[in-house]
C-alpha cells in the first residue's frame, strides 16, 4: 500500500492538492472525485483480499497524447480531440497494477516542443519560478509530479520531452530503450523515435513504474542485456569545448556532478561527443522533421482548429521537405551512429547536462524556435541513436534545479539507472526489478565478490542479489588448481552435512550459458537447496573430485577458510 496508507486516503490527498489550484494550467482534464474514490475503494478491497498490486493506490497523471479510458485525447489541440475505444497498453498495465489515473495533463501541442508553452490550454510554468517555463513537451506531467499531486506521471519522450521538464522541476525522467514500452494508443510525434517515459519524484519510484510498464512493446529484452553496471564503471563526459552551450554557472554545476560521480567510484573519461551533437541536429533540422508531417500533417493542412502558431510553422515546413533529404539523413545518421559508438567504446555510459539553460516565458516568446532548438542540444540524439537514458536532479543553478542525464546503449537501461543512482540520495535509489530478467546463480568460492573469478560475473552484467546459505546438506572441499577454489557436494540422506555461506547473483541468460560452456571439470552447475527452502542453480562439483581433498566444511564458507587451507588442495 502507499506511504499515505490506503488508496482512498491517497486519492483524498490528491483531490485536496488539486483543490488548491496550483498551476491549474498543468491539467487538461481531471476525473470526477466520485469516480476516483470508487476506484480507490476497489483497490483497497482487492488488497484486503490478498491481491498483489505493485502500484496499489498510487495516483498518476497521463500526458494528453496517450489514450486513457473515459477521457478524450486532445494532444494539446481541442480541434483534434477524440474519445479512444480503449486505454493505451501502457496505461492499462499501470491500472492493472493498482494505480489510479487522476487525469490528463497539458503538453506542447502534438508533443512538438521542449518548452511547455505551445498549448491553447496555457503555458505551463515551472514549479519553483512561475516566470520560467516548465519545459516540454511533457510539461503538465512533470509539474503534477513536482507539486506532489500525483505519485508519478506518464510522458512521452521523442527528443527529450520527458527529460527536459524533469530537469526543470528537479525530478526524475526515465526514458526506456525504444520499443520496450508499447506506444500503441499514443498520438505519434515522430513515429520511429517515439517513446513512453516515466516522470517521478525519485529514481526508485521511476524504476518501480518502469518495471510494470516494460513488456508488450515492439521489442523485448535480449538474452545478453546487462542486469547491472560494472564495478567502478567508466563514464564518458564531454570535452570542455562541447559544453559551450552552458553558461558559467551551469558549467560549474555540471563539473560538480562529474566530481560527485568520480567520488562515488566511477572512472570518468573525457571524450569527443561531437557525433552525438551532430546527430541531435538531424532530428528537427533535417529530413527527419518529415516525421512530424507524417504524424499529423493532414490535420494541419486541413486547417485544423486550435493550432499553436509555432507548431503550425514547424509542421508546414516539414511538409515541404523532399524525400531525398530523408534518405540522405538516414545515411548520415548511420555514419554518425558508428562514430558515436566508437567514441564511447569501453565506457558504460555517457553523462551530459540535461539542458543548457532554463529560459523564462518572456525569452521563449521573443525567440520561440531558437530557444526550443537550444534546449534539445543534449537530448535530441538519444532516440535517433537508439540509446536509453535517465535524467536525475544534480544540484541547483541560481536557485533553480539543475539536472544531468545518464545515457547508455540500447537495453542497457539497468546500467544507466545504476550509474544515475550514484548521483542521488541513498534513500532514492533502486529497490525494484526494473531491467531485464535474470537467471539466479549461487556461488560459493572464487566467484564471490572480491575473489579472482568474480569478474566473470560482473563483466557479463550480473547483479548481486544478496548473501545466501545452503541447507545443512552439503560438504565443501579445497580442490587442487589455480586459482584456489572449493568443491561443493550434496551429501546423501542421513549423512552429516553443513550449511555453507555464499552469494546469489542474477545473470543474463546468455551469460549463464557461456559460463556453463566454459566451466572446467570437475566443476558443474546443478540445483542447490538453500536454507530458506528455495532451490536455485549453483556451483557444485563432481563427487570423485573431493576424494583426498581437504574437507573445509567446518569453516562454513570459503571466505572463512584460512588462505593456507584453501591452497592445501594443491593450488598455487
Active site annotation includes 161? yes
CA angle 26, 31, 35 (to 5 degrees): 155
Contacts of residue 84, Cβ cutoff 8 Å, sequence gap at least 6: 67, 68, 69, 73, 185
Compute how many other C-beta atoms are within 10 angstroms of the C-beta atom of residue 521: 9
b/e per residue 245-258 (b: at least 16 CB within 10 A): bbeeebbebbeebb
* 177 DSSP assignment: P
- The pair phi, psi for residue 27, each rounded to 5°, is -115, 140
Strands 463-469 and 474-479: unpaired
Catalytic residue among 119, 161, 310, 388: 161
Name the DSSP class of 487. Answer: E
How many whole angstroms separate alpha carbon 108 and alpha carbon 152? 19
Residues 409-433 as b or e (16 or more Cβ within 10 Å = b): bbbbbbbbbbbbbbbbeeebbbebb
> Sheet of 267-271: strands edge to edge?
27-30, 100-105, 59-63, 152-156, 196-200, 172-175, 387-397, 400-409, 349-353, 234-238, 267-271
Cβ neighbour number for residue 222 with a 10 Å cutoff: 12
User: What gap in Å lies between CA 180 and CA 178, rounded to an integer?
Assistant: 6
Could you give the CA distance from residue 389 to residue 255 in angstroms, rounded to a whole number? 19
**Which residue, among 281, 285, 271, has the nearest Cα to 242 in the 3D structure?**
271
Asked if 63 is an active-site residue, the reply is: yes
Q: Which three cell numbers stand for residue 481?
A: 588448481
| Strand ranges inside 64-212, DSSP E | 100-105, 152-156, 172-175, 196-200
Q: How far apart are the first and last CA of the chain?
A: 55
Instruction: From the candidates 119, 137, 138, 182, give the one annotated as an active-site residue.
Output: 137
CA-nearest of 477, 473, 502, 495 to 487 is: 477
The helix/strand/coil state of 463 is strand
**Residue bearing cell 527527419:** 288
Question: What would you report as the CA-atom Rg of the chain, rounded to the nearest whole angstrom?
Answer: 26
Q: Is 363 helix (H, G, I), strand (E, B) or coil?
A: helix
Q: What are the helix (H) ranges across 61-215?
A: 89-96, 139-146, 163-169, 203-213
DSSP-assigned beta bridge partners for residue 529: 535
Calculate the alpha carbon distances from 161 to 23, 108, 132, 155, 444 in Å: 19, 9, 17, 8, 46
Catalytic residues: 63, 137, 161
Amino acid at each position: 500500500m502507499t506511504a499515505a496508507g490506503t488508496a482512498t486516503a491517497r486519492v483524498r490527498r490528491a483531490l485536496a492538492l488539486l483543490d488548491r489550484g496550483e498551476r491549474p494550467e498543468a491539467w487538461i482534464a481531471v476525473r470526477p472525485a466520485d469516480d476516483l474514490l470508487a476506484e480507490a475503494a476497489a483497490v483497497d478491497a482487492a488488497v484486503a483480499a490478498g491481491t498483489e498490486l505493485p502500484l496499489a493506490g498510487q495516483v498518476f497523471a497521463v500526458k494528453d497524447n496517450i489514450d486513457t479510458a473515459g477521457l478524450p485525447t486532445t494532444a494539446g489541440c481541442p480541434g483534434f480531440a477524440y474519445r479512444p475505444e480503449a486505454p493505451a497498453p501502457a496505461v492499462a498495465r499501470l491500472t492493472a497494477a493498482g494505480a489510479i489515473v487522476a487525469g490528463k495533463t497539458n503538453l506542447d501541442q502534438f508533443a512538438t516542443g521542449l518548452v511547455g508553452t505551445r498549448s491553447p490550454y496555457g503555458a505551463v510554468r515551472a514549479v519553483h519560478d512561475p516566470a520560467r517555463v516548465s519545459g516540454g513537451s511533457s510539461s503538465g506531467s512533470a509539474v503534477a509530479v513536482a507539486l506532489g499531486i500525483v505519485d508519478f506521471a506518464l510522458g512521452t519522450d521523442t527528443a527529450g520531452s520527458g527529460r527536459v521538464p524533469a530537469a526543470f522541476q528537479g525530478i526524475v525522467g526515465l526514458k526506456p530503450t525504444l520499443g520496450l514500452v508499447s506506444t500503441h494508443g499514443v498520438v505519434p510525434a515522430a513515429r520511429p523515435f517515439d517513446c513512453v517515459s516515466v516522470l517521478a519524484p525519485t529514481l526508485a519510484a521511476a524504476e518501480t513504474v518502469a518495471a510494470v510498464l516494460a513488456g508488450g512493446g515492439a521489442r523485448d529484452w535480449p538474452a545478453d542485456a546487462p542486469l547491472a553496471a560494472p564495478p567502478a564503471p567508466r563514464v564518458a563526459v564531454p570535452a570542455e569545448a562541447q559544453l559551450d552551450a552552458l553558461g558559467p554557472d551551469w558549467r560549474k554545476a555540471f563539473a560538480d556532478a562529474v566530481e560527485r560521480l568520480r567520488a562515488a567510484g566511477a572512472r570518468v573519461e573525457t571524450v569527443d561527443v561531437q557525433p552525438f551533437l551532430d546527430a541531435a541536429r538531424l532530428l528537427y533540422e533535417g529530413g527527419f522533421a518529415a516525421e512530424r508531417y507524417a504524424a499529423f500533417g493532414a490535420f494541419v493542412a486541413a486547417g485544423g482548429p486550435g493550432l499553436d502558431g509555432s507548431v503550425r510553422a514547424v509542421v508546414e515546413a516539414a511538409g515541404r521537405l523532399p524525400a531525398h533529404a530523408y534518405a540522405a539523413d538516414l545515411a548520415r545518421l548511420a555514419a554518425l551512429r558508428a562514430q558515436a559508438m566508437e567514441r564511447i567504446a569501453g565506457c558504460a555510459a555517457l553523462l551530459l547536462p540535461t539542458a543548457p539553460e532554463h529560459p523564462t516565458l518572456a525569452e521563449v516568446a521573443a525567440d520561440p524556435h531558437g530557444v526550443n532548438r537550444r534546449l534539445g542540444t543534449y537530448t535530441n540524439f538519444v532516440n535517433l541513436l537508439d540509446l536509453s537514458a535517465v535524467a536525475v536532479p544534480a544540484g541547483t543553478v541560481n536557485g533553480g534545479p539543475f539536472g544531468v542525464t545518464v545515457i547508455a546503449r540500447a537495453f542497457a537501461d539497468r546500467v544507466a539507472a545504476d550509474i544515475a543512482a550514484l548521483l542521488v540520495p541513498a534513500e532514492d535509489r533502486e529497490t525494484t526489478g526494473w531491467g531485464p530478467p535474470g537467471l539466479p546463480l549461487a556461488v560459493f568460492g572464487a566467484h564471490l565478490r572480491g575473489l579472482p573469478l568474480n569478474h566473470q560475473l560482473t563483466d557479463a552484467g550480473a547483479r548481486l542479489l544478496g548473501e545466501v546459505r545452503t541447507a545443512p546438506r552439503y560438504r565443501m572441499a579445497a580442490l587442487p588448481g589455480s586459482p584456489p577454489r572449493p568443491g561443493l557436494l550434496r551429501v546423501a540422506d542421513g549423512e552429516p552435512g553443513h550449511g555453507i555461506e555464499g552469494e546469489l547473483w542474477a545473470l543474463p541468460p546468455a551469460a549463464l550459458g557461456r559460463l556453463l560452456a566454459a566451466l572446467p571439470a570437475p566443476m558443474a552447475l546443478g540445483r542447490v537447496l538453500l536454507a530458506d527452502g528455495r532451490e536455485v542453480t549453483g556451483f557444485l562439483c563432481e563427487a570423485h573430485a573431493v576424494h583426498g581433498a581437504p574437507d573445509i566444511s567446518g569453516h562454513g564458507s570459503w571466505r572463512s577458510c584460512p588462505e593456507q587451507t584453501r591452497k592445501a588442495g594443491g593450488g598455487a
